[in-house]
A and B are shown apart, each in its own frame.
Chain A
Amino acid sequence: MYFRYVTRRFGLMLLVIILAVSINFLLPRLMPGDPVEAQLNQLLATGSGGGDISAMVESYRSRFGLDRPLWEQYLSYWGATLRLDLGVSLAAYPERVVDAILAGLPWTLGLLGFATLVSFTFGTLLGGLMGWPRVPRWLQPFGSSVVLLSSVPYFLIGMVLLYVFAIVLRIFPAGGGLPFGIQTGFNWETISAIAMHAALPAASIILAEIGAWALGMRGMMVSVLGEDYISLADAKGLKPRRIFFWYAMRNALLPQLTKLALAMGHIVSGAILVEVIFSYPGIGFRLYQAIQSNDYFVIQGIVLVLSISIAVAMFILDLIYPLIDPRIAAEEA
């Protein structure tokens, strides 16, 4: 049963990836005036790189040029993508798109991963407590303010934090991932520098996300509390703490995880803008720079990588889900 479930989910992920690659392929070709051609021409015109560039442009034209039938272009595109040949950065020539992405990926993963983990865990716990009958008085107003905070887009919170804590109070650095001229190595200095630079961006994401998780969890908790198994748990004379964690939270957690899967696109979007505000050297910031300089291949490459990573991440969550709710694999089969 688990096997059948996994194969179905895997199939869905493949579908998404195929769709993402296809959209990536079609979109520029559907737009009036092929930006790819325009970019290539512009490159040739500015003559940066000289002979190398013309060779690259020619090979590109012959592989993807508009003179070839669409389906041939499509297949070559797939071939190139599978070989991780996502093109070259036009603005930072001859840097390859793949390299640009790989440079920024760890930063984004670290920031996003950490911030999402923290906000999901604490937000869920907060929401669970907000829905539970006997909790301290101050929890509700505190929780509600956090929830309201989450309606504001991440990057706006980031801007305010940047201003207050980096410009006015000067506690944290104003941007970047590392201070200038630092000797990177696996030592305390490097780690603490990274932490300081990541603090404000992470805080922006956490502050903005935590309320959303809390709100969702509170709703789930309230509905779970109405279930029969909670009554029986009460009747069994179980300790309130056990009922809270093992009977209530555990059951309310399941839909919360699906929400995490569905919210990934949203979270990633928010993170991109946060990176921009803080000039944090991740993929989001790179995307921004690419948009600024019309670096077409980089934009395409990053968008593709983002779509695929999210599909993969959702698949991983799908795998975890049945381990938490034993009914899922049975239902889906």
Chain B
Amino acid sequence: MAAMFVQPRQLLRNRPLSFGLGLLTLICLIAIIGPLLVDPTAARVGATIARQPPSPDHWLGTDGQGRDMVTVLIHAMPNTLTIGVVAGLISLTLGVALGLVSGFVGGMVDTIIRVLTDVMMTIPGIAILVLVAANVREMTVGLMAVIVASLSWMVATRTIRAQTLSLRERGYVQVARLNGSSGLKLVFVEVLPNLLPFIAASFVVTVSGAMLATIGLEALGLGPQNQLTLGTTIYWAQFYGAILRGMWWWWGPPIVVISIIFVGLMLTAIGLDSFVNKRLGGHA
């Protein structure tokens, strides 16, 4: 059994990885703890005077509808993160399952899945998403996650399939086969543990893609209507002409938070990438 064990120390020495994870942890903490600390009523329309620049009362000012920006931001973060993570998880599961089956079973099944993946990757996701979202009566966080997930699974499938194909031919898998291990056991005991680094890397990529699609859709006005998200905040800012009016406190902070999330995701992906490659190098 050639399972790979990870040393925490090794992870920390990988600078992009630790920095990226650090940023993400920070965001998650704010998203989880924040809502417990601020009064949600301040985020309702007409809560206070509209269009106020930052002041001691409102650290990040208020938006065009009289909402306190700090509260809005803190309540929007968990929603955005939820959509991204849930969509990421759904696509990942789908992607890993398809990739494993495709790589392991091979033959016609593999061909079908491969062609399907390639074709789906060609279609511009945003186009389909816009179409679907435009047709939906009431958009919610959950529904959004599902819609976004349906178009983010392809990358994971490709990666996992490629790795499964190469692992299938490795020595220890052949040996296990000869020893009579059945298909399912083989997958879970021999192949899956060695796929973990790739699954982790794919997860980060999938979540990135899902979040990008989500924020894009929201900024176009197709996001959840009754829940605050970072993307919809930007949409409303754009709608009210906040940029032209110089109300940087409305659209600026969401951009900063989104940037931090994406930079964190990218650093984590880069860190995982070099980590994964190191393992490959060691196994050559």
Binding site for B on A (CB under 8 A): 12, 15-16, 19-20, 23-24, 27-28, 31-33, 35, 147-148, 150-153, 155-156, 159-160, 162-163, 167-168, 174, 215, 219, 262, 264-266, 268-270, 272-273, 276-277, 287-288, 291-292, 294, 296, 299-300, 302-303, 306-307, 310-311, 314
Contacts and interface: CB of A to CB of B under 8 A. Distances in A.
Contacts of B266: 147-148, 150-151
A23 B127 CA distance: 11
Contacts of A150: 266
Contacts of B73: none
B123 A268 contact: no
Contact of A162 (B123, B243, B263): B243
Given A19-B119, A155-B219, A265 B134 contact: no
5 contacts: A15-B119, A19-B123, A265-B122, A265-B127, A288-B221
Interface string B113-139: 001001101111111101110111100
A310 B121 CA distance: 11
Interface residues of B, number: 44
Given A156-B255, A167-B244, A276-B238, A27 B132 contact: yes
A153 B238 contact: no
Pick the most buried of B213, B243, B270: most chain A CB atoms within 10 A of its CB. B243
B258 A307 contact: no
Given A23-B128, A163-B243, A152 B135 contact: no
B75 to A, nearest CB: 20
Contact of B123 (A273, A277, A307): A307
Contact of B122 (A28, A291, A311): A311
Contacts of A148: 263, 266-267
A75 B198 CA distance: 44
Contacts of A163: 243, 246, 248
Contacts, number: 135
Contacts of B246: 163, 167-168
If over half of A's interface residues share one DSSP class (helix, strand or loop), that class is named, otherwise mixed; here it is: helix
B222 A291 contact: yes
Contact of A307 (B127, B213, B273): B127
A148 B23 CA distance: 13
B3 to A, nearest CB: 26
B153 interface: no
* Those 5 A-B pairs whose CB atoms lie nearest each other, nearest first: A269-B126, A151-B266, A265-B124, A31-B135, A303-B127
Contact of B255 (A19, A160, A269): A160
Interface string B248-280: 100100010011001101110010010000000
Contact of A32 (B115, B125, B137, B234): B137
Given A151-B266, A262-B121, A265-B121, A159 B128 contact: no
Contacts of A287: 130, 220
